[in-house]
């Protein structure tokens, strides 16, 4: 057998839109950081995961499902999970779509809705996939900047929405800033969005914000509208299920769900993910506990970093967007050497920022100490 690989050049096969895409940046590899730092335990603050784990009911549900066998395909409709979600939110199960993470639904929406050259409006700084998936379809992406104080720029949004987008991706709260829109601001976006556009409200961090009376529950805000919308949520963040990949959307109407069903791979949500999500959804106490502990840490760490002179954006999520006062890729490298992984932000204008999700109080203390030490050195 000849194991020598002949050099093949597939570059000419690749669509122009795909060849020009930036790769997704998942953050540094924990094994590499462990090797670099010699740390026994790496503190991973780069992916907005929950440090508080999952409901104990999840392990049991997955175990029972696995005992039942994995030789059969999962339910392609995810009926039990869709019904449980529908019941918890008072919407018909036929208006619920499930995804292999809510990222999968972002992708399906682009596939179902976007023609080449059409316009998508989203925010900057923002979530990279809100730009990547539209670009795969050949759509144009217009990113509305936040104000200098990381607030909502009503005029800029109005102007961008007046250009006639087909799709609007709005994350509330926003990743990476952690800031949220209040009810009045969301209402302004809804009012300015053309009726011919699909409004996608990405509430990946909604569970953390919902205890704030100023936070508008997207489903309640959009429910009564007679125009196309979809609210996206996920089990990856507050529910702690990032590893099994399951998210969902609640849509304005069943026709949108049926279109997504036509483009999705039929078994997109695996059996353990469906079982895990049903169990997680039923444990209100674990969710409330995670949200409560997260909010305490967000408030505490924000205070400590500000006390050390760092600028920190007020966060309604489980992560902080922090101005390090110098190029943040260098700061991230120094943190790696201490066994801590954060994301150095790369969007133009934000190269001094890191995004760090919080962990347990002990780990957060290590993070605060290392970061403030790094930022106190040779202050620019
Ligand atoms: C994390 C995240 C998601 C979704 O993650 P999944 O794990 O795919 O459910 C979606 N949108 C934003 C803004 C996120 O930060």
Does the C-beta of 216 come closer than 6 Å to ligand 1? no
Looking at residue 2, what is its pLDDT?
Answer: 59
Question: How far are the Cα atoms of 84, 105, 139, 220 from residue 244, in angstroms, in the given order?
Answer: 18, 15, 30, 28
- Residues 56-67 have a mean pLDDT of 93
Ligand 1 midpoint to CA 13 (Å):
30
Q: What is the CATH number of domain 27-48+285-377?
A: 3.90.1150.10
Does the C-beta of 171 come closer than 6 Å to ligand 1? yes
Give the C-alpha separation, 163 to 29, whole Å: 40
Handedness of CA 90, 91, 96, 102 (dihedral sign): negative
Q: Which residues of 59-83 are buried (b: 16+ CB within 10 A; e: fewer)?
A: eebbeebeeeeeeeebeeebeebbb
Angle between helices 284-307 and 361-376 (to 10 degrees): 20
Q: Could you name the CATH architecture of 56-283?
A: 3-Layer(aba) Sandwich (3.40)
Looking at residue 380, what is its pLDDT?
Answer: 57
CB 94 within 8 A of CB 115: no
* pLDDT tens digits, 271-302: 999 999 999 999 999 999 999 999 999 999 99
Looking at residue 70, what is its pLDDT?
Answer: 84
Any idea where the domains of the chain sit in the sequence?
27-48+285-377, 56-283
CB 44 within 8 A of CB 319: no
Looking at residue 378, what is its pLDDT?
Answer: 67
User: What is the distance, to the nearest Å, from the Cα of residue 375 to the centroid of all Cα atoms in its chain?
Assistant: 28
- The mean-pLDDT minimum among 20-24, 127-131, 187-191 falls in 20-24
pLDDT of 379 over the 70 cut: no
Looking at residue 8, what is its pLDDT?
Answer: 81
Looking at residue 177, what is its pLDDT?
Answer: 98
Q: Between 246 and 24, where is the model more confident?
A: 246
| The domains spanning 27-48+285-377 and 56-283 adopt the same CATH topology | no
Give the C-alpha separation, 208 to 370, whole Å: 26
Mutate to test the pocket of ligand 1, among 97, 108, 237, 315 (most ligand atoms within 8 A of CB): 237
Mutate to test the pocket of ligand 1, among 122, 234, 273 (most ligand atoms within 8 A of CB): 234
- Residues 26-55 have a mean pLDDT of 95
Does the C-beta of 247 come closer than 6 Å to ligand 1? yes
Mutate to test the pocket of ligand 1, among 108, 109, 127, 181 (most ligand atoms within 8 A of CB): 127
Average pLDDT over the chain, rounded to an integer: 96
Q: pLDDT above 90 covers what percent of the chain?
A: 92
The token pair that represents 336 in the structure block: 């790696």
Does the C-beta of 297 come closer than 6 Å to ligand 1? no
Question: How far are the Cα atoms of 2, 3, 9, 13, 49 from residue 6, in angstroms, in the given order?
Answer: 10, 9, 10, 17, 42
């Amino acid at each position: 057998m000849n194991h020598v690989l002949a050099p093949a050049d597939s570059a000419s096969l690749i669509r122009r839109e795909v060849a020009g895409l930036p790769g997704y940046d998942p953050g540094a590899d924990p094994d590499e950081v462990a090797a670099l730092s010699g740390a026994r335990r790496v503190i991973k603050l780069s992916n907005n995961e929950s440090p508080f784990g999952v409901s104990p009911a999840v392990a049991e549900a997955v175990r029972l499902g696995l005992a039942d066998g994995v030789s059969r395909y999962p339910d392609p409709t995810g009926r039990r999970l869709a019904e449980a979600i529908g019941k918890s939110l008072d919407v018909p199960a036929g208006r619920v779509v499930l995804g292999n993470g809510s990222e999968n639904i972002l992708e399906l929406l682009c596939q179902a809705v976007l023609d080449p050259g059409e316009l998508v409006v989203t925010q900057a700084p923002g979530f990279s996939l809100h730009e990547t998936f539209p670009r795969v379809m050949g759509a144009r992406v217009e990113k509305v900047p936040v104000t200098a104080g990381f607030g909502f720029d009503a005029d800029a949004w109005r102007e961008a929405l007046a250009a006639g987008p087909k799709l609007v991706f709005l994350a509330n709260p926003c990743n990476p800033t952690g800031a949220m829109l209040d009810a009045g601001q969301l209402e302004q976006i809804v009012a300015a969005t053309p009726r011919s556009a699909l409004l996608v409200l990405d509430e990946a961090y909604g569970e953390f914000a919902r205890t704030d009376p100023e936070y508008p529950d997207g489903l309640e805000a959009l429910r009564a509208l007679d125009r196309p919308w979809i609210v996206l949520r996920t089990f990856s963040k507050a529910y702690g299920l990032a590893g099994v990949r399951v998210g969902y959307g609640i849509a304005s109407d069943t026709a949108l769900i049926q279109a997504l069903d036509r483009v999705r791979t039929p078994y997109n949500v695996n059996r353990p993910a469906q079982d895990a999500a049903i169990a997680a959804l039923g444990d209100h106490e674990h969710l409330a506990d995670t949200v409560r502990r997260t909010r305490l840490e967000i408030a505490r760490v924000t205070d400590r970093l500000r006390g050390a002179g760092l600028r920190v954006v007020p966060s309604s999520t489980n992560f902080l967007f922090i101005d390090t006062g110098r190029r943040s890729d260098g700061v991230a490298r120094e943190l790696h050497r201490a066994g801590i992984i954060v994301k150095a932000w790369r969007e133009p204008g934000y190269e001094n920022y890191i995004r760090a999700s919080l962990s347990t109080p002990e780990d957060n203390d290590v993070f605060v100490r290392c970061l403030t030490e790094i930022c106190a050195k040779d202050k620019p």
